[in-house]
A and B are shown apart, each in its own frame.
Chain A
Amino acid sequence: MSGLDKVVTSYDEALNGLTDNMLLMVGGFGLCGIPEGLIDKVAATGVKGLTCISNNAGVDGFGLGKLLEKRQIKTMIGSYVGENKLFEELFLSGEMEVILTPQGTLAEKIRATGAGIPGFYTATGYGTKIAEGKETKEFDGRMYVLEEAYPKADFALVKAWKADRYGNLVFRKTARNFNSMIATAGKCTVVEVEEIVEAGELDPDLIHVPGIYVHRVIKGKFEKRIEQRTVKS
């Protein structure tokens, strides 16, 4: 890693500086497009008291589910618990603080964080529990809720398909999801990819996230587990 070259070769280097009580953002939707190796490494370091912003929390025993099992997460911010039994248990028992946030609001809050916008108004959630205690305002006869951006994440953990050495990123299909916004919102953005190419090899017209947002790139290994394998009969 020197100059604009963001490539690191070990997970130790990739997560160098990770300590207890940090704020993490983690890309993925369900198990699609999650930085598997980086999550495993967070689990292996044993850091505790984390605040994690991620749409889901993996499944029991895989993805962020591993951090739940080891009770490394103090506060989980996401939109969907779904069928993750341990997540639901920790939530209902109060053992872990959970802040459920509508998916679009979550996405926009992360985008705002990266874009230097401190807050925005949305109609989403007006009149519901999630708007309690938040400022509201009327625009053109409709009520909106003020939602604030997050602080920048200490570590933003992202999964991309390809990166070049300068950290320009390309995603594949629906594995992009939250990854491209999370990439912009980290004090240290670490991207785990399937393939690293030389700078100049990616078509500049087809880059999804420019390298300016990215600090470290590591070539990972992915199991790409499928949550619900559905095929046509």
Chain B
Amino acid sequence: MSLSKEQIAQRIAQELKDGYYVNLGIGIPTLVANYVPKNIEIMLQSENGLLGMGEFPSDDQVDPDLINAGKQTVTASKGAAFFDSAESFAMIRGGHVDLTVLGAFEVDVKGNLASWMIPGKLIKGMGGAMDLVAGAENIIVAMTHANKHGVSKILNKCSLPLTGVQCVKKVVTDLAVLELKDGAFHLMELAPEVTAEEVVSKTEAPLVISDQLKTMSF
């Protein structure tokens, strides 16, 4: 059975390590914050100028001056700091963020990803994504395995304008966990009740099936 968005987020949360500074992109990545293991301490960086993003506010805590990069009202957690956009991207570009989780339209075997425009149809803009993928040590892409037409988003070569080159390390989809090693996607984990054959048949890029292949556990 393919994973829900929440389950994708829950699986990614297992990648968090004690002491990490983490930037979560808009969409599925934002949900990762709901599944941070209780026994570790991490800080969420929001590129609009907040280190230490807390949970959503209660009604009477809502403050228009306190939002996250998705423009949602949030709170600041204990030990948080505010700063300007240049400082924020100094943290990002300077490699101080331990993990970046972001969404994508497409990824390919070279570790390239596309996420900011579909020519002639849709322009979201790259926001901070290009800086994040250029700066983070560790990048995980969170997305559905196929687009809404059932077409694989894991490709031999991205067809859309790129956000970054050779930057993706790991992809978590509704069907599988893939790692990019030596120019190929390795199938590392399967969603519960999903077979390796199903993932292979739904993926354009060739997959190396890991000899440590296992089913995800939550």
Contact = CB atoms under 8 A, between A and B. Distances in A.
A226 interface: yes
B93 A231 contact: no
Which of A125, A224, A228 gathers most chain B CB within 10 Å?
A125
A26 B127 CA distance: 16
Interface in B110-131: 112, 116, 120, 122-131
Q: How large is the interface on A (under 10, 10 to 19, 20 to 34, 35 or more residues)?
A: 35 or more
A181 B73 contact: no
A173 B84 CA distance: 10
Chief secondary structure at chain B's binding surface: loop
B65 A127 contact: no
Interface stretch (B46-54, B178-186, B192-200): B46-54
Interface residues of B, number: 54
Contacts of B7: none
A106 B76 CA distance: 25
Contacts of A232: 55-58
A78 B68 CA distance: 18
Contacts of A78: 125
Nearest to A81: B125
A29 B85 contact: yes
B72 A228 contact: yes
B67 A124 contact: no
A178 B58 contact: no
Contacts of A88: 122-123
A110 B62 CA distance: 30
B165 A128 contact: yes
Contacts of A178: 84-85
Interface stretch (B139-147, B156-164, B210-218): B156-164
A168 interface: no
B73 A103 contact: no
Interface in A167-213: 171-181, 208
B42 interface: no
Contacts of A30: 48, 67, 71
A55 B162 CA distance: 20
Contact of B71 (A123, A180, A227): A227
Contacts of B116: 100
A103 B85 contact: yes
Interface of A: 29-33, 55, 78-82, 88, 91-92, 98, 100, 102-108, 110-111, 122-130, 161, 171-181, 208, 224-232
B76 A173 contact: yes
B18 interface: no
A165 B193 CA distance: 67
B57 to A, nearest CB: 6
8 contacts: A80-B126, A88-B123, A107-B86, A108-B86, A124-B93, A173-B50, A173-B65, A176-B83
A169 to B, nearest CB: 11
Contact of B73 (A102, A126, A226): A226
Contacts of A98: 123
Contact of B65 (A32, A92, A130, A227): A32
A33 B162 CA distance: 30
A80 B49 contact: no
B15 interface: no
Contact of B165 (A32, A126, A179): A126
Nearest to B125: A80
Given A102-B127, A161-B65, 19 more contacts: A29-B69, A31-B64, A32-B71, A80-B125, A81-B124, A104-B47, A104-B92, A107-B84, A107-B88, A107-B89, A108-B89, A128-B163, A128-B165, A129-B162, A174-B65, A224-B65, A225-B64, A231-B59, A231-B73
B187 interface: no
B48 A177 contact: yes
A177 B74 CA distance: 15
Contact of A173 (B66, B71, B85, B130): B66
B135 A123 contact: yes
A180 B126 CA distance: 22
Nearest to B26: A82
